[in-house]
Structure formats: C-alpha cells, structure tokens
C-alpha cells in the first residue's frame, strides 16, 4: 500500500487523547499505562520537548515525542499505526525530531525499547542507533529495556 501524502506537524493539545491511546495500544501493551492524555499534554506544552504527528487525511498515522536536554536528547515515544508501518513514516518522524538535536549540537540521542522487540531494535539500528546497555525491569519493574543511542 502506498502512503498518501502525509504531513508532519507539531501536535496540538487536542491530539493528546489520540496519542495516549496509540501509545497504550502500540507501545505500552501489557504494561501499566504511563502515557495518559495529561502526560502527553504536558509534553506538548513543555518548551524543551517536541511532540510530532504524522497526519494522513484527518487522522494521526504516527507520532513521536523527543525531549531535548543540555547534552543529549531523549526519544520518549515513537510509534506508527500498524496499517501504515513499513511506509517510511517512522523514519520521517525520527529524522524530523533529530534535527533540533543536531542544530543544538547535542552529543547524542538516546532511547529505550523493549528488549524483546526485535523489530523496533532493527528499525533503530538501520538508522544508526547502537545498543548502549540492557536495563532490567525498566518497564514497570516487569520488562527489560535496551537503551540505544547515536550522535545526531
């Protein structure tokens, strides 16, 4: 399936419930819910965080949340609806979110991914991310994460 024209735009407060729901179904499956609408709203309002959405027609096909610190950026969330995966949307979201880190001269970008999510780890590896460490119990004390990073 070819992706129709999609637009990358900064999220609006009204997008918070949809982003939180997608986080629950695409990322937080089987875990205690962490990214509730109020937390997504706080990220949208935070001056050092970008919340980006990929819009196709009237819907949100994917989203990413990146927080920029003094020395590194942290990718908090990145997800693409299953119907649109494999179409380059995730790569476009991540490249857009990485750009401010590069412009700011940050030393690296880090993220965590479920240790058993081989598909996500392979996606990030294709984009130049490398494993930094394994973090036992990262997800609600239940599941390990793999911390990955790269220079912007």
Q: Is 112 a catalytic residue?
A: yes
Are 88 and 1 in contact by the 8 Å Cβ rule? The answer is no
SS3 134: strand
Using CB atoms within 10 A of its CB, is residue 24 exposed (0-12), middle (13-18) or buried (19+)? Answer: middle
Q: Is 124 a catalytic residue?
A: yes
Q: Of the listed 68, 124, 129, 139, which one is catalytic?
A: 124
SS3 142: coil
Q: Of the listed 28, 41, 98, 112, which one is catalytic?
A: 112
| Active site residues per annotation | 112, 124
């Amino acid at each position: 399936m070819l992706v129709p024209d999609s637009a990358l735009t900064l999220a609006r407060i009204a997008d918070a419930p949809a982003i939180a729901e997608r986080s629950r179904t695409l990322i937080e499956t089987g875990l205690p819910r962490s990214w509730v609408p109020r937390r997504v709203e706080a990220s949208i309002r935070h001056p050092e965080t970008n919340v980006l959405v990929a819009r196709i027609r009237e819907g949100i096909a994917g989203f990413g949340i990146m927080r920029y610190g003094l020395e590194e950026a942290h990718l908090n969330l990145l997800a693409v609806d299953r119907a649109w995966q494999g179409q380059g949307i995730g790569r476009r979201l991540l490249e857009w979110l990485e750009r401010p880190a590069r412009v700011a001269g940050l030393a690296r970008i880090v993220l965590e991914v479920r240790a058993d999510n081989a598909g996500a780890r392979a996606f990030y590896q294709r984009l130049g991310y490398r494993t930094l460490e394994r973090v036992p119990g990262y997800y609600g004390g239940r599941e390990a994460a793999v911390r990955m990073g790269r220079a912007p």
